[in-house]
Copies of this chain bind each other. A is one copy, B any other.
Amino acid sequence: MTQDGRIDFLYLNEQDMIDAGVLNMQECINVMEDVFGILSTEDYRMGGRENNSHGMVVSFPDEPEHKSMPVNGPDRRFCAMPAYLGGEYRIAGCKWYGSNLDNKDKNLPRSILTMNLNDADTGAPLAFMSANLLSAWRTGAIPGVGVRYLAKPDSKVVAVLGAGAIGSSTAIALLLEAKNAEVFKIYDVDESQSQILKEDLEEKFPNVSIQIVYSIEDAVRETDILNLATSGEANPKIESEWIKPGALIIGSSSGNFDPDFVINNVRLVVDNWKMYEEVKYEDVYPYNTLEMGVLGRLFLDWIHEDRMTSDIIMNVGDIIKGNVHARENDDDIVIFALGGQPLYDIAWGYKVYQNALEKDIGTKLNLWETAFQAR
């Protein structure tokens, strides 16, 4: 921005984002830990009635009256995720995406995402960016923070359910943080997905034994750190007796657990419980659905069903600060449920944008020389 009100901003396509470091998982994990720090000081604003909304979803009916209207289905939605992030960032932004499982038939990712970064004071655009990798990497990085603070340090066996975009980026984060990992198990209904991830991880982590497994049970048993990253409609059934004592289960997506077991035997951690409380204004019970599989929403359902109360739920930020402890006993199982928030995208987007500016990456675009209606 200049004196005459001229506004320029930076466009970063997917290759630009890669060149500017969006795939630097270790840095991304550190930035996500940073965001949890800002979360705990409440130096942020999101949308919604209590300023803690995940975002605004545009969904479709199961049986549209109009034939041309898109039809509801797993992960079929559009979603706008606006927020302001304080701390050292102090910018606003909005992630915007459309999702459709059928995209895979068109050689396209399930979701196609873009991100706006904006000056917190004027609202002027700073950057418009391809956000698929931004989103996948920040979503992958948060489980890395989970491993850092919620897994037992001697964790040797790590596993992912789901080897799609999220599972793949998460796998990198898990292995970066699980310093003593010896075995990494991959389960996906589509074995070719597992194979692609296996090859990628073998290159990146030559000292870990990367194994494809062929059942959910094999993925869960004997596993110290388990990550769920399946698409909405999968909702994998996890039998309680499969879960190893002391295990960490990270829910990037949802899962089908025995409520009684989880409520009575598992320590529950979320990224930001206030965000889930906001859901009660935005949606109706049941909150966890095949169209929108989010483990924290399952907790909301259990609270709605009077199976549990919210006071057993911990925020990861409080654990990082040392205010509360993830485990009381060594054998305590911990579930870390992730909801996703635009704050993560803004933080990582801002870092990548700063890198791009430094390295002169991207396409400079002009919004206007002087606004037509500058008054």
Residues of A with Cβ closer than 8 Å to B? 1, 3-5, 7, 11, 13-15, 18, 41-43, 45-49, 51, 53, 55-60, 65-66, 68-70, 78-84, 86, 90, 92, 94, 96-100, 102-104, 106-109, 111-112, 114, 116, 118-125, 128, 130, 132-133, 136, 164-165, 168, 193, 196, 281-284, 363, 365-375
Contact = CB atoms under 8 A, between A and B. Distances in A.
Contacts of A100: 121-123
Q: Is the interface of A mostly helix, strand, loop or mixed?
A: mixed
Nearest to A69: B86
B98 A96 contact: no
A47 B56 contact: yes
How many copies of the shown chain assemble into the complex?
A: 2
B132 A373 contact: yes
B80 A92 contact: no
Contacts of A372: 14, 18, 132-133
Nearest to A99: B123
24 contacts: A5-B106, A13-B367, A18-B372, A41-B66, A43-B66, A43-B69, A45-B59, A47-B58, A49-B282, A58-B92, A70-B84, A100-B123, A102-B121, A103-B122, A104-B374, A107-B370, A107-B371, A112-B123, A130-B368, A132-B371, A132-B373, A133-B373, A281-B281, A363-B365
Given A1-B106, A132-B372, A366-B13, A98 B78 contact: no
A366 B374 CA distance: 30
B84 A78 contact: yes
Nearest to A55: B56
A47 B81 CA distance: 12
Given A58-B46, A83-B58, A372-B18, A4 B107 contact: yes
Given A13-B365, A122-B106, A373-B165, A84 B65 contact: no
A56 B80 contact: yes
A47 B272 CA distance: 22
A328 to B, nearest CB: 32
B78 A94 contact: yes
Contacts of A114: 116, 125, 128, 367
A196 to B, nearest CB: 7
Contacts of A365: 11, 13, 363
Given A82-B58, A84-B70, A375-B196, A122 B108 contact: yes
A283 B53 CA distance: 13
Contacts of A5: 106-108
A14 B108 contact: no
Contacts of A57: 47
A232 B154 CA distance: 59
A280 to B, nearest CB: 10
The residue among A47, A102, A123 with the most chain B CB atoms within 10 A of its own CB is: A123
**Which 10 A-B pairs rank lowest in CB-CB distance, beginning with the nearest?**
A98-B123, A5-B107, A47-B56, A80-B80, A14-B368, A80-B82, A56-B56, A112-B123, A165-B373, A43-B66
Given A94-B94, A96-B96, A104-B375, A56 B69 contact: no
A13 to B, nearest CB: 6
Contact of A96 (B84, B94, B130, B136): B94
Contacts of A47: 56-58, 80
Contacts of A122: 98, 100, 103, 106, 108, 112
